Amino acid sequence: MDKDVFVRIEELMPQFSKGQKKLGEYILNSYEKVVKLQAFKLGEVVGVSESTVVRFAVSLGYEGYPEFQKALEKDALKKMNSLKRLEMASYRLGEQSVLNAVLTSDINKIKETLSSIEEDTFTKAVDSICIAKKVYVVGIRSCAPLASFLAFYLNLMFDNVILLETNNPSELLEQMIHMDVRDVLVAISFPRYSISTQRACEYAHKSKAKVITLTDSLTTPLAPFTDYTITAKSDMASIVDSLVAPLSVINALVVAISMKKQSEVSETFKKLENLWDKYDFYNQEENI
């Protein structure tokens, strides 16, 4: 659906029955609680029947309450501040073991990513990076470590990698001033989406550079400026953005690029190994 859950509720509110309006108002004000409640329990809390809850979900365009609840959780993550996230996590985790719940969630996100990722898009992104004159990489705030990780390994393979490191929109674009049609921007962004990353994508698009985005959906704010969108499932564990699946996709990107440019990469790593040995950069127990 093009519109998120909250927009659909607000638009349809005048048409709802009295019970549906109570549901809509409760969801808009307490969505972080609803993501854990079963249909009958939500009905009890609001004071309506379970069948009213189900009809409410269907009236919004969903097949049933489970599909509605899944969409609500996804859309809620885009608008929640840290305090709301903390409250939502307490409802989701309840009395579970935090360690077990978080690791299980991460495993599931990787599985979901594997089953939904478009391999053709992934391959085209790899090809674009391999032939680019310059590769720009950007990730802001919680996505910054992912961008740094990707840029670190790309820098070991190529001499044309630029990691954009700033939260100032003006400085960010100034680093892209020489970008042109021969270049590629790899932008990493997950909820809550960074406006600076969006502006970088827009600038790259106007510069006719290829734009590759690693994000959670084909309908993110980066979509209008993107040539290749690689999707990975993200999640929220309390105030922490769980980006395990995106990191796994980045690992796959690095491996795919190294295999495609195997002869060049092998020569580079021969030089690096000689350099590391000469200056005792690593001890025998350390690995790159």
How far is CA 20 from each of CA 33, 52, 55, rounded to the nearest angstrom? 17, 7, 9
User: Which pair of structure tokens corresponds to residue 252?
Assistant: 């796959």
pLDDT in tens, 146-201: 999 999 999 988 889 999 987 677 788 899 999 999 999 999 998 878 899 999 99
The CATH architecture to which 112-261 belongs is 3-Layer(aba) Sandwich (3.40)
Given pLDDT bands bounded at 50, 70 and 90, which one contains residue 103? confident
Q: What is the pLDDT of residues 189-246, one digit of tens each?
A: 988 788 999 999 999 999 999 999 999 888 888 999 999 999 998 865 545 567 899 9
Predicted confidence (pLDDT) at residue 286 exceeds the cutoff of 60: no
Q: Tell me, what's the pLDDT at 152?
A: 94
Distances (CA, A) of 18 to 7, 22, 32, 55, 151: 19, 6, 23, 13, 55
User: Considering the domain 5-95, what is its CATH architecture?
Assistant: Orthogonal Bundle (1.10)
Written as one string, the DSSP assignment of 18-36 is HHHHHHHHHHHHHHHHHTT
Where is pLDDT greater, at 126 or 26? 126
- What's the pLDDT tens digit per position in 104-148? 878 888 998 998 899 999 999 999 999 999 999 999 988 999 999
> What pLDDT is stored for residue 94 in this prediction?
56
Q: 237 - beta bridge partners?
A: 240
Residues 6+ apart with CB under 8 A from 285: none
Tell me what pLDDT residue 82 has: 47
What pLDDT, in 10s, does the model give residues 59-79? Answer: 999 999 999 988 887 777 666
Q: Where in the chain is the domain with CATH 3.40.50.10490?
A: 112-261
Distances (CA, A) of 52 to 22, 40, 47, 70: 11, 9, 10, 18
Residue 285's pLDDT band (cuts 50, 70, 90): low
Nearest to 190 by CA among 74, 27, 31: 74
**Alpha-carbon gap, residue 169 to 172, rounded angstroms:** 5
CA–CA dist 94, 75 (Å, integer)? 21
Percent of the chain with pLDDT over 70: 87
Question: 233-245: string of b/e by CB count within 10 Å (b at 16+)?
Answer: bbbbbbeebbbbb
- Choose among 252, 151, 253, 240: nearest CA to 191: 240
Residue spans in the chain of domains classed CATH 1.10.10.10:
5-95
pLDDT reported for residue 54: 93
14 vs 280 pLDDT, higher one? 14
Supply the pLDDT for residue 132: 96
Amino acid making up residue 156: L
- For every residue of 33-63, which 3-state class applies, written as one string? HHCCCCHHHHHHHHCCCHHHHHHHHHHCCCC
Q: Say what the pLDDT of residue 80 is.
A: 59
For the cut 50, the answer to whether the pLDDT of residue 83 exceeds it is no
Q: Is the pLDDT higher at 120 or at 97?
A: 120
Q: What is the pLDDT of residue 78?
A: 67
Nearest CA to 181 out of 259, 128, 223, 217 is that of 128
For residue 119, the model assigns a pLDDT of 93
